[in-house]
Amino acid sequence: MATLTVRDESVSGEVFEAFALHFPSASITVRQLIRERVHQEVLLHTQSADSHQRQCLVVASALEATLNSARQMTEQRPVDWRKQADIACQAFERNGFVILLDEQQAEHLDDILTIRHDSVASFIKLTPLVGG
């Protein structure tokens, strides 16, 4: 079992949140990392009433947010983590966020990452510039 520390960071290096993910092997792909992270986020979201305060990789679309805000917590539909993981993978491919493993940037979803005992994966969301 390999444990990876995951951090959400700003471009300036400010850490918003850190948590651990566990994998059966020390060699994983970027896609596996993203999928496991989203899977854990969805599990936490469904188990916790205050999950909206957590920094999430995938954010509901404006329409989903509007529709869900009108619902009671007991009426919310379950979140499909696989669909959300696919959205996150697409965002990675469109440079919506960057992943650094031990300060080395991951370039492609099929890149192989090797987890060491002290490895850190940093997720850095990129914000498009206004007007360009």
Three-state secondary-structure class, residue 110 = coil
Q: Where are the domains of the chain?
A: 2-125
Shortest CA distance to 108 belongs to which of 123, 128, 92?
92
Averaged pLDDT for residues 29-55: 81
Averaged pLDDT for residues 19-41: 96
The pLDDT assigned to 62 comes to 46
The pLDDT assigned to 63 comes to 46
Q: Do 31 and 109 form a contact (C-beta atoms < 8 A)?
A: yes
The pLDDT assigned to 26 comes to 97
